Amino acid sequence: MSFDTLGLLPELLRAVREQGYENPTPIQEQAIPLVLAGRDLMGRAQTGTGKTAGFTLPLLQMLAPSANTSASPARHPIRALILTPTRELALQVEESVRTYGKYIPLRSTTIFGGVNINPQTKALRAGVEIVVATPGRLLDHHQQGNLNFSHLDVLILDEADRMLDMGFIRDIQKILNLLPAKRQTLLFSATFTDEIKQLASKFLKDPATVQITPTNTAAELVRQVVHPVDRERKRALLAHLIQSRNLSQVLVFTRTKHGANRLSEQLDKDGINSMAIHGNKSQPQRIKALEDFKNGNVRVLVATDIAARGLDIDMLPHVVNFELPQVAEDYIHRIGRTGRAGAEGEALSLVCVDEHRLLKDIEKLLRKDLPKDVIQGYAPDPSIPAEPIQTGRQGGGGGGGRGHGPARGPRPGGAPARSGGGRPSARPGARGK
């Protein structure tokens, strides 16, 4: 099947061809006709499946104006709202809107925290049809009277599972109460948990369902390997792997912001050019780090889960779990950064004795044991006891087990300290990061 068979406007087909695409991905092939037919939709697809184009292309077609357009804000009411968990994802979704909407006269803008609100206010007052936003900053603009949703036609929740994990459910419910009841709603998620299904049942009407990947399975093209190692030797092993194998463009995950900073500094001392990206970095810092990583000026990007959510890096060859995530599903999201668009990828996990339980949870989710490869000279010492894994709120971070805050427990998803996309409890300046 080609894009020509999906009933898209010539202007959209032209933009798609200019991006070098001829055939739609499975999510695009299935979702686009349903969205164009006006159906509410639940779409399950992981990153790298083309889901963003799967909703931006039909959205642009449905909102495409007639020849009689006006530059006045009154003729440019907000007609579509796309909610994302992080500012990085908001920027990338809006870039997709601009890319595919190149030949369609529609206005769009992004709204997220951590940056000056005034340019966003100016853009909203000038008039836009499409708003891509994180929940917290969107509510800020509503409180300031900068938003009018009376003409809204379409609501899209992208990466809804991550928004729930980050504790945005109350913000989402507040936003839903601001929107017209008569609208088309699309929800996209990497997983269809009971919580996602419950949320969808409240505001989707007779939705069609598109499921592209089996529940909680990793990308088939990703080679996954576990390297057992002592917690205090993880950094040395990481440096050894990068240098001995001459790895480049390596995305490394830590659990904490402090841990990301510390690891990046240590790698620099090892002669490996690296940068950290997390919620405490300013937006310009995060954009520059990502750009330097993409163009090869930075060899290693050390990231927290929230900061890396939505990162769109073509042909990323290597992902390293310097520390395993607290929640097994996050492992799926992490390794989904590589093995995209048909390219092979590699996911390495440096696992110490503290993380054996987390590894078992991941293997249970994957329904298979991951291969173990002990690197010569880095075999773990069996006499070292396990220590509680901590999350970083008490000032530790990055070493693999010691000194990272409260001990392992249930996912901090009910009301986590947020560094991404929304409204934290009482921490100024952290909204929408």
Grouped pLDDT means (10 residues each) for the chain, 433 residues: 89 91 89 95 81 94 70 73 90 92 94 92 94 95 93 94 85 94 92 84 91 58 92 96 94 92 95 89 80 89 76 78 88 77 80 95 88 96 88 39 34 32 35 39
How far is the CA of 31 from the CAs of 118, 209, 313, in angstroms? Answer: 36, 9, 23
Neighbouring-strand partners of residue 250: 300, 318
Architecture of domain 3-211: 3-Layer(aba) Sandwich (3.40)
Closest CA to 155 of 136, 130, 138: 130
For the four alpha carbons of 20, 25, 30 and 35, in that order, the dihedral sign comes to negative
The pTM of the full predicted model, rounded to 2 decimals, is 0.60
pLDDT tens column, 367-418: 889 999 999 999 999 999 999 876 543 333 333 333 333 333 333 333 333 3
Rounded to an integer, what distance in angstroms lies between the CA atom of residue 190 and that of residue 331?
12
Cβ–Cβ < 8 Å for 208, 40: yes
pLDDT at 267: 96
pLDDT tens column, 247-297: 989 999 999 889 999 999 999 999 999 999 887 777 788 888 888 888 889
SS3 call for 350 = strand
pLDDT at 276: 92
Q: Tokens 């357009």 appear where?
A: 69
Per-residue burial over 81-112, b if 16 or more Cβ lie within 10 Å, else e, is bbbbbbbbbbbbbbbbbeebbeebebbbbbbb
Closest CA to 131 of 143, 147, 150: 147
Closest CA to 340 of 12, 45, 35: 45
Domains 3-211 and 222-366 share a fold: yes
Domain at 222-366: CATH code: 3.40.50.300
Pairing mode, strands 184-189 and 154-157: parallel
The torsion defined by the Cα of 243, 246, 250 and 252, in degrees rounded to 10, comes to -20
Q: Report the run of H or E that residue 36 belongs to, with start and end.
A: helix 26-36
Q: What share of the chain is helix, strand, coil (3-state, %, to 5)?
A: 40, 15, 50
Look at the chain and count its residues: 433
pLDDT at 337: 76
Rounded to an integer, what distance in angstroms lies between the CA atom of residue 95 and that of residue 130?
12
Rounded to an integer, what distance in angstroms lies between the CA atom of residue 7 and that of residue 210?
19
Rounded to an integer, what distance in angstroms lies between the CA atom of residue 109 and that of residue 174?
21
Cβ–Cβ < 8 Å for 129, 63: yes
For the four alpha carbons of 285, 86, 309 and 327, in that order, the dihedral sign comes to positive
Q: Report the run of H or E that residue 225 belongs to, with start and end.
A: strand 222-228
pLDDT at 238: 97
Q: Which amino acid is at 360?
A: K
Rounded to an integer, what distance in angstroms lies between the CA atom of residue 90 and that of residue 312?
11
Q: Report the run of H or E that residue 154 belongs to, with start and end.
A: strand 154-157
pLDDT at 339: 64
Cβ–Cβ < 8 Å for 300, 270: no
**Sequence ranges of the domains in the chain:** 3-211, 222-366
